[in-house]
Amino acid sequence: MIQDAAARALLWADPEPAHRAAIAALKLGLGPRDPGPDDAILATRLGGLQLSNCVGLAAGFDKNAEVPDAMLAAGFGLVECGTVTPLAQAGNPRPRLFRLSEDRAVINRLGFNNQGLEPFAVRLAQRRRKGVVGANIGANKDSQDRIGDYVTGLERLWPLADYFTANISSPNTPGLRDLQSGPALDELLGRLAQARAALTAAQGARPLLLKVAPDLVDAQIETICAAILTHRLDGAIVGNTTLSRPDHLRSRFKSETGGLSGAPLMAPSTLILRRFHEASQGRFLLIGAGGIASGGDAYAKIRAGAGLVQLYSALVYEGPGLVRRLKRDLAARLKADGFVSVADAVGAR
CATH of the domain at 220: 3.20.20.70
pLDDT (tens digit, 0 to 9) for every residue of the chain, 349 residues total?
555 555 555 676 899 999 999 999 999 999 999 988 999 999 999 999 999 999 999 999 999 999 999 999 999 999 999 999 999 999 999 999 999 999 999 999 999 999 999 999 999 999 987 899 999 999 999 999 999 999 999 999 999 999 999 999 999 999 999 999 889 999 999 999 999 999 999 999 999 999 999 999 999 999 999 999 999 999 999 999 999 999 999 999 999 999 999 999 999 999 999 999 999 999 999 999 999 999 999 999 999 999 999 999 999 999 999 999 999 999 999 999 999 999 999 999 7
Question: How many structural domains comprise the chain?
Answer: 1
Report in angstroms the alpha-carbon separations of 159 from 119, 203, 205: 15, 7, 10
d(CA 57, CA 62): 9
Per-residue pLDDT at 78: 98
Task: Enter the pTM of the model.
Answer: 0.96
- Domain of residue 111 covers 2-345
pLDDT in the model for residue 135: 98
Q: 222: which residues sit within 8 A by CB, 6+ positions away?
A: 279
Please tell me the predicted confidence (pLDDT) of residue 255: 97
pLDDT of residue 182: 83
For residues 55 and 80, the answer to whether their CB atoms sit within 8 Å is: no
User: What is the three-class DSSP state of 158?
Assistant: coil
268 close to 275: Cβ distance less than 8 angstroms? no
Q: How far, in Å, CA of 24 to CA of 166, rounded?
A: 27
Active site residue ranges = 170
Distance CA 216, CA 277 (A): 14
